[in-house]
């Protein structure tokens, strides 16, 4: 059984456990409904899986030559209304390469999210755009990146919630001039759990 399958299976089980736990005591939380001006800070950690890489011509590279790694991050959100929030995020992640190197990614971006849910459960769909610093074998590059994500959280008090999230990363490696033929577009899957403080 592959490591990717095991990780995906564990994530699905975690999401199901969160949903089942919320159904056990649906009236036992004093979690307020989101409103304009609400803020939150989330700390996350999890896994990072290379999916595939497209080359400069848009052709699929036969193998991404990378192994699964880890991801972590910090996110701030300000609610503009009951369902829509804006914020920012900083993160870090790494994967190992077939040659024994380590590819580090350190993105900084702006986020937008639609948030909904019930008294105990909160779910979201989000997008993130920004700049990403990548380093491999001592060489670095700064390129744009994009993330699309979905998440599910459960309030454990009026101020705290815990949850899980999946993000799809698009990470271009862009060059100019004579090196433009080296452009590539990597896709990664991040799965994480986190704790959120609401204030």
Question: Contact at 8 Å (CB) between 172 and 143?
Answer: yes
pLDDT in tens, 107-148: 999 999 999 888 788 899 999 999 999 888 877 888 899 999
Q: 25 pLDDT band (50/70/90 cuts)?
A: very low
Run of H or E including 130: strand 121-136
CA distance 146 to 111: 10
Q: Check pLDDT > 90 for residue 91.
A: yes
What letter does residue 16 receive in the DSSP assignment?
H
Provide, rounded to the nearest whole percent, the portion of the chain with pLDDT above 90: 45
Query: Looking at 61-70, 85-94, 120-129, 185-194, which range is the least confident one?
Result: 61-70
Query: Looking at 42-46, 61-65, 95-99, 167-171, which range is the least confident one?
Result: 61-65
Query: What mean pLDDT do residues 11-15 have?
Result: 54
Task: Give me the pLDDT at residue 16, please.
Answer: 53
The pTM of the whole model exceeds 0.85: no
Domains of the chain: 3-198 (2.40.160.20)
CA distance 75 to 147: 13
Run of H or E including 13: helix 3-24
Q: What is the 3-state secondary structure (H, E, C) of 26-64?
A: CCCCCCCCCCCCCEEEEEEEEEEEEEEEECCCCCECCCC
Quickly count: other Cβ atoms within 10 Å of residue 42's Cβ. 22
Q: Check pLDDT > 90 for residue 32.
A: no
Task: Give me the pLDDT at residue 5, please.
Answer: 54
Task: Give me the pLDDT at residue 24, please.
Answer: 44
Task: Give me the pLDDT at residue 29, please.
Answer: 47
Query: What mean pLDDT do residues 70-87 have?
Result: 94
Task: Give me the pLDDT at residue 8, please.
Answer: 57
Give CA angle at 150 (146, 154), nearest 5°. Answer: 140
Sequence length of the chain is 199
């Amino acid at each position: 059984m592959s490591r990717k399958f095991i990780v995906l299976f564990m994530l699905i089980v975690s999401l199901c456990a969160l949903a089942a736990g919320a159904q056990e005591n649906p009236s036992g939380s004093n979690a307020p409904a989101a409103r304009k001006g609400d803020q939150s800070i989330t700390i996350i950690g999890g896994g990072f899986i290379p999916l595939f890489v497209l080359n400069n011509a848009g052709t699929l590279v036969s193998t991404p030559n990378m192994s699964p790694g880890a991801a972590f991050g910090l996110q701030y959100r300000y609610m503009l209304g009951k369902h829509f929030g804006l914020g920012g995020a900083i993160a870090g992640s790494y994967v190992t390469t077939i040659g024994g190197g380590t590819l580090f990614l350190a993105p900084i971006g702006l986020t937008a999210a639609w948030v909904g849910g019930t008294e105990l459960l909160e779910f979201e769909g989000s997008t993130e755009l920004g700049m990403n610093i990548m380093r491999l074998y001592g060489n670095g590059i700064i390129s744009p990146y994009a993330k699309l994500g979905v998440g599910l959280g459960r309030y454990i008090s009026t101020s705290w919630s815990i949850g899980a999230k999946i993000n799809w990363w698009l990470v271009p490696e862009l060059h100019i001039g004579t090196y433009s033929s080296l452009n590539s577009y990597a896709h990664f899957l991040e799965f994480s759990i986190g704790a959120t403080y609401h204030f």
